[in-house]
Structure 1
Amino acid sequence: MSDLQNVKPAFAARVATTIGQASGLVQKLATPWLTQLVLRIALAVPFWKSGILKWQGFLQLNDTAIDLFTDEFKLHLPGGPYPFPAPAVIAFLSACGEVGFPVLLVFGFGTRFAALGLLLMTCIIELTVPEGWPIHITWAAMALGIAAWGPGAISIDHLLSRATNRL
């Protein structure tokens, strides 16, 4: 009976040690600067891909982008759905945000502002396509994380912050 009693604590100690070592390895791999960089890129990609499809040339939207906001997209509010007001203007602003904010995020410049912009866009997208909430909540979580913890060490914001603190 005493051998069995000694085996249980030894096994538990080995399991605890292994879990501790694995946790340490994960913590070393998931450094804050890397996590923040990947988070910024992950949020930027879907918006960039959507935004780039809306442009025909420099500051010129394609007809499909305007048609989407005129005919397809509706705001799903109580008593609705309702059409977007000034669909050409909304399409233009949306396309600018979908291209501009991701660029800011990837470079880490005006990062918290860009994350807030994409969070607001995500809220409007959710009102437009409510069945897409599983993806939208992910975008919102990423935007909130970026807004809360900033861009990280690999960013223009970080470089500017270090430069201004030295002056």
Structure 2
Amino acid sequence: MNALILRVIALFEKIPHSLIAFIARFSIAAVFWKSGQTKVEGLAIDLIDGNFELGWPRLADSTIPLFQSEYHLPLLSPEIAAHLAAFAEHVFPLLILLGLATRFSALALLGMTLTIQLFVYPDAYPTHGTWAAVLLYLMATGPGKLSIDHLFARRFAK
């Protein structure tokens, strides 16, 4: 029985970091992208639903009122917070998905996650803990071989 457990563990250890990192990048990018899409109009890209509207994004009419009530932050005006959130939830997920500036983009989204946890939804720690774990993994280990960061590292390491 002990030998079987050791063989299974050895199999698990062969799961490539690049596969785990790619799944982590895709998953966490989707979480933030989909949230960002609820805050804007004029740009809709949802590969799963097949919803595409290419245009210049602008804040949805409901976004600033949402930041005035439910998402109220202590240090930022609702107008600034709404614009920053919509920007961050589109730019950083895209960078993470591409594997470009992955560690820094993950850090930015970790800061956003902590802000949401502390000031907006303090009871959502199971969800935010999962996001934080994925983001910390990407910060600690990088995006893997299927990334632009990896190509740059190989190019400039020579």
| Paired amino acid for 2:106 | A
**Structure 1 position 85 matched with structure 2 position 76:** yes
User: With structure 2 as the length reference, what TM-score do the two structures score?
Assistant: 0.85
Name the % identity: 40
Name the residue aligned to 2:72: 74
Aligned residues between the structures: 144
Which has more helix, going by share of residues?
Answer: 1
**Structure 1 position 129 matched with structure 2 position 129:** no
Gaps of 5+ in 2: 43-55
Name the residue aligned to 2:151: 159
Name the residue aligned to 1:8: none
Name the residue aligned to 1:140: 132
| Paired amino acid for 2:12 | V
In the TM superposition, what is the alpha-carbon distance from 1:54 to its structure 2 partner?
Answer: 1.0
Name the residue aligned to 1:55: 40
| Paired amino acid for 1:131 | D
User: With structure 1 as the length reference, what TM-score do the two structures score?
Assistant: 0.81
Cα pair 2:92 2:108 within 8 Å, conserved: yes
Bigger Cα Rg: 1
Please give the per-residue CA displacement for 1:21-45, whole angstroms capped at 9, x wherever unaligned: 21222222x2111111111112111
Taking only aligned residues, the RMSD between alpha carbons, in angstroms, comes to 1.4
| Paired amino acid for 2:17 | P
